[in-house]
Structure 1
Amino acid sequence: MTLITHNDNCPKCASKEIELRSFSDDIEFRGFILDVENLQDLHCKSCGHSWEEKTQVQHNQEMLKIRYAAIRDKERTKQGLLGAAEIENIRNLFDLSQRDAASLFGGGYNAFNKYESGEVLQSFAMDRLLRITRAFGINAIEFLKDVNQNTQFNVTKVNAKFSKIPNYNISKATDQLILTSRMQANESSARYVNDFFPPAFLIDSKKSNSRRISKHES
């Protein structure tokens, strides 16, 4: 426990002998028991009263969110999904705000806020769409913008655009991804990947082990 002199008065006995304490505690949050470190409260040395003011409440909520996000990232790792930091890095790579990314990739208005905070795990379809975008760069972003504008596609033209990408990038993407025809119903951009991305970098469905994509939103 860390004791730091604080200038406020105790709301119970008006004493000025107040300490800002730093401690750890087990907190139940969204079905998990989290061991959260670096929590803070105020403690009166005179009467023993403890309380939190706005500053401590905000600090403790942030510590709880950080710990929760770490636990959720462990679950992502088990399932082979991108971590919160990786999702944020992909978004920043293309200078997209969280709302811009949600509009472009799908998943809902606050999807990327929830993905990056750990509140929601991205689906397998969304995860693969993000990996494709990271591998193929701005061409993928432009493609998805066209998709979201309901553009009629010229397959030859689209294939020509992606043919400019080095083969090692194509191999890198296909080595990481197995796309199936089962996509999340609420993720239109992810479904379009299966329908419209050039077959040059999609794994032959006959060679891939197709499996059911289960919903991971919680």
Structure 2
Amino acid sequence: MNRECDKELCPVCGEGHLAEHQDECEVEYRGRSERLPSVYSRCDVCGVEQTTAAQARRNKRETLAFRKHVDGLLTGQELRDLRERLAINQKQAAALFGGGPVAFSKYENDEVAQSEAMDRLLRLADAMPEVVLTWLRDYAGLPDEAGVHVSRTYTVEFPQSTVTGGADVWCDFLAEESAVEGVMLRSGNAANEDGSDGPVSVIG
């Protein structure tokens, strides 16, 4: 690959222009190796090779995406696809899942790797979107699609115990992988006069 970088002058000789090139470099991580694309610029007069700040960011993103894959985490593109399946934008995703106002922009551009707990929560939301997003809206104090915030209670049934409480009960256990397996979850609407429970979901 070889293309002009907007006729940018070479900062070394001041005469030539920089042309972008792309090669492949082998990256090793945790016993895995893969050849990843690597971009850089070369002066058409003095021949000096250099990497601009923008090119360095692109190379870093390629490397981080590879590391995410090796670690079993969702890559930036997979995160973007997941968020779009949930029909929420990046700002809404940050409000629901946490991480800060620009977290999902960084996750999806492979600038930052999400934690394992965040990754599990996202995968769970993808598998059970209606249930998990409702709980997360309760936990964050956000309104539902109709613009109404309803306080709900949940019964979380663990193999050895049962806990009843608000959305925080469920969210507090999400980070514990061992606690999630085999859990039965029942949601009830506090506004219902009969206090009836919603559908039951089993995880694990």
Indicate the TM-score class for this superposition, using the shorter chain for normalisation: 0.5 to 0.7
Partners in 2 of 1:120 and 1:26 — Cα distance?
21
In the TM superposition, what are the counterparts of 1:69-218 in structure 2 within 5 Å?
Answer: 69-76=65-72, 81-116=73-108, 117=110, 119-124=112-117, 126-149=118-141, 152-155=151-154, 190-191=171-172, 197-198=185-186, 200-203=200-203
Overall identity of the aligned pairs, in %: 21
Corresponding letter in the other structure for 1:198: R
Contact 1:21 1:42 in 2 (8 A): yes
Partners in 1 of 2:44 and 2:123 — Cα distance?
52
- Look up the SS of the partner of 2:152 in the other structure: coil
Distance change in 2, residues 1:103/1:49 (3 Å): same
Distance change in 2, residues 1:34/1:60 (3 Å): farther
Partners in 1 of 2:6 and 2:83 — Cα distance?
41
Greater alpha carbon shift after TM alignment, 112-121 vs 190-199: 190-199
Partners in 1 of 2:41 and 2:185 — Cα distance?
54
Partner of 1:22: 21
Count the aligned residue pairs: 168
Q: CA deviation at 1:60?
A: 3.9
Q: CA deviation at 1:141?
A: 1.9
Distance change in 2, residues 1:4/1:152 (3 Å): closer
Distance change in 2, residues 1:97/1:11 (3 Å): same
Partner of 2:37: 37
Distance change in 2, residues 1:64/1:15 (3 Å): same
Normalising by structure 2, we get a TM-score of: 0.56
Give CA-to-partner distance per residue, 1:8-52, whole Å, 9 cap, x none. 555555545x45141437699xxxx9965341213143x444456
Partner of 1:184: none
Contact 1:99 1:110 in 2 (8 A): yes
Give CA-to-partner distance per residue, 1:102-150, whole Å, 9 cap, x none. 21123444443343326223223x3333233222223432332123218
Distance change in 2, residues 1:10/1:127 (3 Å): closer
Question: Which of the two has greater strand per residue?
Answer: 2
Q: CA deviation at 1:63?
A: 3.2
Uncovered stretches (5+) of structure 2, i.e. residues with no partner: 28-32, 143-149, 162-167, 175-179, 188-199
- Higher RCO (CA 8 Å, separation ≥ 6 residues): 1
